[in-house]
Amino acid sequence: MNTVVLSDPSPEPSPQLIGDDLRAKAASVLERFVDQFGGVGVRGAVISTADGFDIAMTAMPEAEGTKLSALSSSISAIGDMATLEVGIGNNHQSITIEGGDGYIFILNIPSAACPMILSVAASKEIMLGKLMYYARLVVEGMAEA
Amino acid sequence: MIEHKILFTGTVGAGKTTAIQAISEIPPVCTDVLSSDPTIGKEKTTVALDYGEISLGKTERLRLYGTPGQQRFAFMWKILAQGALGLVILVDHSRPDPLRDLMIYLDNFKTLIQESACVVVICKMDESHPPLLEDFTQAMKQKQMVYPVIPADVRDKEQVLWILELLLVQMETRQ
Ligand SMILES: Nc1nc2c(ncn2[C@@H]2O[C@H](COP(=O)(O)OP(=O)(O)O)[C@@H](O)[C@H]2O)c(=O)[nH]1
Ligand SMILES: [Mg+2]
């Protein structure tokens, strides 16, 4: 088996192109989103650029939000290729990953100028319908940005 | 049909996606998205993988995978290296410190390189300024890594096929 040993990645600074306005908007949209759950179920959320830089995160350690942004970027792009291949759309709308102790939800935030991704980490207590409802509101709120 | 997995890695903008698109016989799978990082000097960037295929005669096929270049996607390097039988490292000579760039990939793919085959390709080479080809060779020697280092324009199908040829020769002599 071939393995790869990862050396410590040097931190990549988040690019300047992400304006302060966009960051502020993403932060407030995320705040409103987690407030809907009153501390039950949602473990954290991050909005990132489609190429994997975090824009704003909430209830999540920064290192985790940064890493999740890159992971979600890859998963999301593969999701788009899969929907395209099977002919169910040009882009995925959401991807759900179920772990033993919770979920990760990844939603595409379409935008011509700055395509983004919402990633939400949740525990098994989460009510899926409610989560999807409010996550879509985040997508709608940001897609206009 | 005998299939080999070949991996293309290297700096962002060096030409990994371009190289696979130049030679693939199937419509390549491409996961490039709009880049929000102006420093990479191009509009789109690969965030998951590239995939293409090319057959060699009637009995052999190469499955070509490309990685994202940036270190924030290093988890994809690890995933994509699994089962690879050869590695092509593309270094963009026009970046500020190409020697240091090469070291990042040599270090991260060390095990794969030792267990398989490797070719280092210097892209967008400008011989009027350093590092020169022998600087790359020298730097690799210091790491006890002796592999071909060649300049190439990966937009040209023939040159990409030549890179694969160098890789296949190594793979055969190792068997
Ligand atoms: N001028 C010049 N451009 C090149 C050469 N090789 C590749 N390119 C260009 O450099 C870019 C490489 O981009 P891409 O393939 O996306 O790089 P990746 O990030 O490694 O996948 C493309 O726009 C190519 O056309 C070269 O030898 N000379
Ligand atoms: Mg690429």
What pLDDT score does B1 carry? 86
Number of domains into which chain A is organized: 1
Distance of alpha carbon A139 from alpha carbon A107, whole angstroms: 7
Cα–Cα separations (whole angstroms), residue B51 to B66, B85, B157? 6, 15, 16
pLDDT band at A5 (very low <50, low <70, confident <90, very high): low
- Residue A56: inside a domain, yes or no? yes
pLDDT mean over A7-36: 80
**Is the Cβ atom of B14 under 6 angstroms away from ligand 1?**
yes
Say which CATH number the domain at B44 has. 3.40.50.300
ipTM, 2 decimals? 0.91
pLDDT band at A127 (very low <50, low <70, confident <90, very high): very high
Ligand 1: atom nearest CA of B19 is 15
Q: Could you list the residue range(s) of the whole structural domain that residue A37 is in?
A: 18-143
- pTM here is 0.92
pLDDT mean over A59-75: 97
Distance of alpha carbon B22 from alpha carbon B157, whole angstroms: 5
Chain A residue with Cα closest to B112: A2
Say which CATH number the domain at A139 has. 3.30.450.30
pLDDT mean over A61-77: 97
pLDDT of A2 > 50? The answer is: no
Look up residue A43 and give its amino acid.
R
Answer yes or no: do B36 and A18 touch at CB < 8 A: yes
What pLDDT score does A8 carry? 45
Q: Could you list the residue range(s) of the whole structural domain that residue B66 is in?
A: 2-174
Number of domains into which chain B is organized: 1
What pLDDT score does A15 carry? 61
**Is the Cβ atom of B131 under 6 angstroms away from ligand 1?**
no
- Residue A11: inside a domain, yes or no? no
* Low-confidence spans in chain B with pLDDT less than 70: 175
What pLDDT score does B67 carry? 98
- Residue A111: inside a domain, yes or no? yes
Chain B residue with Cα closest to A8: B71
Q: Collapsing DSSP states into helix, strand and coil, what is residue B47?
A: strand
Residue A17 class from Cβ within 10 Å (0-12 exposed, 13-18 middle, 19+ buried)?
middle
Measured in Å, residue B47 CA sits from the centre of ligand 2 at 8
**Is the Cβ atom of B35 under 6 angstroms away from ligand 1?**
no
What pLDDT score does B174 carry? 79
Q: What is the mean pLDDT of chain A?
A: 91
Ligand 1, pocket-test mutation among B8, B42, B77, B160, most atoms within 8 A of CB: B42
What pLDDT score does B97 carry? 96
Q: Mark residue A141 as left, alpha or beta (left: phi above 0; alpha: psi -120 to 50; beta: remaining).
A: alpha
pLDDT of A9 > 50? The answer is: no
- Residue A13: inside a domain, yes or no? no
What pLDDT score does A13 carry? 57
What pLDDT score does B106 carry? 97
Reported as a single tens digit per residue, the pLDDT across A99-109 is 999 999 999 99
